[in-house]
Amino acid sequence: MTIKLMCTWAFEKQIKKFDKAEMLFKNSLQRKEMGLHIHSIIIRKLKTICGVWEFKKIRYRNKNKNIIYYDNPHFQIEKHKNIDSNLKKDILEKIRNRLTYENVIKSYPKNTISIFSIRQIIKKSFIDKNQKTTVFKKIENEKNIYIEMDDTYAKLQWNSKNKKYLNRLVVIHTGLDNKRNVKNKTILIETKNTDSSKISVNQWVEIIKTKIKELYKFNYKNIIVIGDGATFIKKIAQKLNAKYIIDSWHLKKILQKLVGYGLYSRKNKHFFKWFNIQNKVTIYKFCEKEIMKGNYALVLDVIYEAIQFTKTQNHNVDLSMKLQEFYNFSKYVENNKQGIQNFAKNFYIGSRTEAFVANIIKKKIKRFTKIGLNLYKFLIYSGKKNNENLFFI
């Protein structure tokens, strides 16, 4: 017997029990003693995994002329609800597995569910999840609260139109466990149409302060803010009286473009191979090691001297673009020198801003060519672990 036939058989059996119980109460002495008079029969439709099922409900009128129903023990149909809870769960699971609305609809008997109903189920599901929070208290040996921040963009549908949305991600946590997993995580996401105004720095400061006060019930020594050097991140760090660290992924990416070797950096290998021969290490590896110690001034000197030496050895090579890249890198480093120097401090545990953006947002929506705002939020909520907090701001 197929699953569909088994499902149909089970529901038909349930309906027969339901109808039998309705008739027994209708003809019972109990109903008469309660002073209930038959008023009418209505048909309640329930959407299930097996299709749409109809139940005949008898309505009664009591002495006060109020309409009431028999409390049938064989099947409880919620008032003003016509979608079975198992069907809702099945729909949400299929959406998590990246099925489109159209394919979800096709997976059930005809006219079981509509796109509008699916959207309402999704919307209600993440509204419910948003009410549950985890409070982190009695945490021993925790000295710091880390706040990692980054922006990403996505095209989302709203009112049937594709709009570009800013997703500002703020992850609060207390560091790493023995397996280097992030502990006590709270995720805050600002999702705004780029045409609308963003949450201000002062508003973000108050939001972060409130969440820390509500959710982190322990005495901490420092707040450490980690970001890519954006002005708004540094302003937030300043207003929180926090220590600021530049995100190493963004810094290394710029350094890689400037002096690193690779498929798209063959010119760099041609320019700086002499450095590798003389020092038994590539210029990128040398600079990466030193900058992660906080020695930004040494790195700038080495790169500048390397470019000048290359220029003297290869008069026919045009290094004007490479010099401009260096000046841009130098400006970025100078603007974030305190954040680089803090690499050497004992409170530095690495940065994960890009990984957070990828795992919390990008991976959840990458298979969708079109995605609505509510579906986007649902998919992100679906990835939340039980011991984490997640709030859309």
Q: Are residues 237 and 268 in the same domain?
A: no
DSSP H/E element including 231? helix 231-239
Residue 6 pLDDT? 66
Is residue 52 within 8 Å of 45, Cβ to Cβ? Answer: yes
Residues of the chain with pLDDT under 70: 1-7, 126-131, 138-141, 264, 315, 367-369
Residue 52 pLDDT? 87
User: What is d(CA 37, CA 23) in angstroms, rounded to the nearest whole number?
Assistant: 14
Q: Are residues 273 and 328 in the same domain?
A: yes
What is the separation, in whole angstroms, between the first and last Cα of the chain?
Answer: 49
Residue 72 pLDDT? 83
Q: Are residues 121 and 73 in the same domain?
A: no
Residue 140 pLDDT? 65
Within a domain: residue 362?
A: no
Distances 319 to 270, 309, 327 between C-alpha atoms, Å = 12, 11, 12
Of the candidates 29, 97, 53, the residue with the CA atom closest to the CA atom of residue 368? 97
Q: Which residues, in sequence order, are CB contacts of 215 under 8 Å at separation 6+?
A: 133, 134, 135, 136, 172, 186, 389
Within a domain: residue 166?
A: yes
Q: Are residues 149 and 92 in the same domain?
A: no
pLDDT, one tens digit per residue, over 157-189 is: 877 788 889 999 999 999 998 889 999 999 999
Within a domain: residue 75?
A: yes
Q: Which of 129, 160, 190 is the last residue of a domain?
A: 129
Q: Which of 64, 97, 129 is the last residue of a domain?
A: 129
Within a domain: residue 356?
A: no
Distances 89 to 92, 166, 390 between C-alpha atoms, Å = 5, 30, 21
Within a domain: residue 375?
A: no
Q: Are residues 280 and 311 in the same domain?
A: yes
Q: Are residues 241 and 255 in the same domain?
A: no
Within a domain: residue 46?
A: yes
Residue 75 pLDDT? 73
Tokens of 343: 């690499």
Q: Are residues 261 and 238 in the same domain?
A: no
| Residue 104 structural domain | 85-129
Is residue 60 within 8 Å of 38, Cβ to Cβ? Answer: yes
pLDDT, one tens digit per residue, over 325-339 is: 999 999 999 999 999
Q: Are residues 210 and 275 in the same domain?
A: no
Is residue 375 within 8 Å of 122, Cβ to Cβ? Answer: yes
User: What is d(CA 216, CA 221) in angstroms, rounded to the nearest whole number?
Assistant: 13
Q: Which of 129, 156, 188 is the last residue of a domain?
A: 129
Q: Which residues, in sequence order, are CB contacts of 272 under 8 Å at separation 6+?
A: 259, 282, 283, 306, 310
CA quadruple 177, 357, 194, 245: dihedral, nearest 10: 50
Distances 68 to 34, 61, 75, 80, 381 between C-alpha atoms, Å = 12, 6, 16, 15, 39
Within a domain: residue 10?
A: yes
Q: Are residues 122 and 164 in the same domain?
A: no
User: What is d(CA 382, CA 132) in angstroms, rounded to the nearest whole number?
Assistant: 13
The total domain count for the chain is 4
Q: Are residues 78 and 89 in the same domain?
A: no
pLDDT, one tens digit per residue, over 342-363 is: 999 989 999 999 999 999 988 8
Residue 13 pLDDT? 84
User: What is d(CA 288, CA 295) in angstroms, rounded to the nearest whole number?
Assistant: 10
Q: Are residues 203 and 157 in the same domain?
A: yes
Q: Are residues 240 and 260 in the same domain?
A: no
Within a domain: residue 374?
A: no
pTM listed for this prediction: 0.81
